[in-house]
A and B are shown apart, each in its own frame.
Chain A
Amino acid sequence: MIGRAVANEFAKMRGLRVAAVAGTLIACTAGLSLLTAVTAPAFADPAGERSWEPLLASMALAVPLASPVLLAVLASRQVDIEHRGGGWLLSQTSGITPGRLCRIKFAALGCVVSAATALQSLLLIGAGVLLGVAAPVPVGAWAGYTASVAVVNLVLLALHVLVSARVDNQLVGLGLGVLGSVLAATATGLPPWLAHTFPWGYYALATAADYRDGALVMLAPDHSAVAALGAAGAALFLLATALFDRRED
């Protein structure tokens, strides 16, 4: 039953052009990262030693900029059709409660978002190899960064599924996405304690390479904060969707 319901969501995605939105996400993050990296001094200088740091650092710039608003778009599109087509009631009569439908939508979109997050990192690694970065790929740093971004993305996706389902007017969800992008893009400049206080700040906490005193260095980000965010997000999402089932409208 659950499997079929998830498959049903994937069928809806085709009409909603979710692939195009996910493609936009990948193109924006990978494209902007690459552009930032190749214009960085380390890459622009033909005699300079090309390394992985500029690529990782530019990811930390493009990912927070593009992800929040496009995650809001993905969630809004997948949820809004139920508002317009009377889908909540239809699902309920076939045994899928609104809260459960939200969890199913999250599961389906979560697959797309996770795949897109992995793909944008792989694209950038591929570009690095093609551009002639001689050093071996720092697999640990890339894997840690990608996994952290995936967790933050999934938490924000869950938030947007909830907001889009709860508030009929999609202005709220998308407005939140735009503000989230602004916050996320500027969170790198904030002190870490401040970045811990809102979910969009966790992109900054996952940053794997950045400029410190003018020099580009690898950082050793503490992934436990992101893991805690993921656990808290999962618990809150389950609680909120359970409450959806008790609502009458």
Chain B
Amino acid sequence: MGAVRAEFLKVKRSLSWVVVLLLPVALVLVGTVNTVVSGERPEEGWHTLWLRSVVLYGLFPLTVGIGVLASLVWRVEHRGGNWNALMGGPTPALRIVAAKAAVVSALAAAMQGVMLAAVVLAGKLVFALPGLPPGRYVLISAVIAAACVPVAVLQSGLSMLMRSFAAPVAMAFLGAAGAIVLLMLGAGAAASALPYALVGRATQLGTGTFADTGALTLGGAASIAGAAALLTGVLIAASALLLDRTDARA
């Protein structure tokens, strides 16, 4: 647990909260402004608002945002003599990898929380929608947060291997573009094997867009969560193996 605590301490004073707050709020704002200027009311209430903000969010901003957060978490290790301190320290590679991935996943989950809160706020304040959004959005948010974990592990691994801040972010974007292609072609099964596409599918859950049927079933949600757990295990093991083979550098 010590490693995880150390990582949370490191991230506390970084600028990560800017991404966590700004990205979801910006997307809900864009969805709201688009609805307002088009002069229409959200016909299906919460569903329309969710569709307009979360599906766009899942197409690439979420993935790229996780990439930025992962680069931020690893940035400090690539600076000064920190890399050699990390390599020379007693913490096993698996624990380092898991701790970094845990922090990025927690930030991604926080981002989803902000997203849900922003949707509720926009629905209440701008459109004066009745009541609270149905509970299904809490379940969908949990599935999205779970689907973010393999992306966080993958991006954390890329940021570990690359000293550049921007290169892993570019790869996240490329992955997101590939995921859009897969989802446009309706390749649902293939989407489960690619973390970027899995998170895209999770954000489309229950909306009927792209490869989604529109119905929210427990089985569908569980299959995404299961695929996420499997991918997370494989990717953590691979990252730890890679870090184990890395050495101090001059």
Contacts and interface: CB of A to CB of B under 8 A. Distances in A.
Interface of A: 16-17, 21, 24, 27-28, 31-32, 35, 39, 65-66, 69-70, 72-73, 76-77, 80, 84, 169-175, 178-179, 181-183, 185-186, 189-191, 194
Contacts of B223: none
Contacts of A76: 165-166
Interface stretch (B23-31, B42-50, B91-99, B196-204): B23-31
Interface of B: 14-15, 18-19, 22-23, 26-27, 30, 33-34, 37-38, 56, 60-61, 64-65, 68, 71-72, 75, 79, 163-167, 169-170, 173-174, 177, 180-181, 184
A69 B23 CA distance: 14
B52 to A, nearest CB: 9
Contacts of B64: 69, 178, 181
Contacts of B14: 171
B243 to A, nearest CB: 21
B250 to A, nearest CB: 14
21 contacts: A21-B167, A21-B170, A24-B170, A24-B173, A32-B177, A32-B181, A35-B181, A66-B177, A73-B169, A77-B164, A80-B164, A169-B75, A171-B14, A171-B15, A172-B15, A173-B166, A174-B166, A182-B26, A183-B26, A190-B34, A190-B37
Contact of B174 (A28, A175, A181, A185): A28
A174 B169 contact: yes
Contacts, number: 103
Given A169-B15, A178-B64, A35 B170 contact: no
Contacts of B75: 169-171
A9 to B, nearest CB: 16
A-B complex: 4 closest residue pairs judged by Cβ atoms:
A170-B165, A76-B166, A73-B166, A73-B170
Given A80-B165, A186-B34, A65 B56 contact: no
A26 to B, nearest CB: 12
A204 B79 CA distance: 40
A73 B64 CA distance: 11
Contact of B166 (A32, A77, A191): A77
Contacts of A70: 170, 173
Contacts of A179: 22-23, 26
A249 B228 CA distance: 47
B71 A171 contact: yes
A175 B19 contact: yes
Contacts of B163: 84
Contacts of A73: 166-167, 169-170, 173
Contacts of B15: 169, 171-172
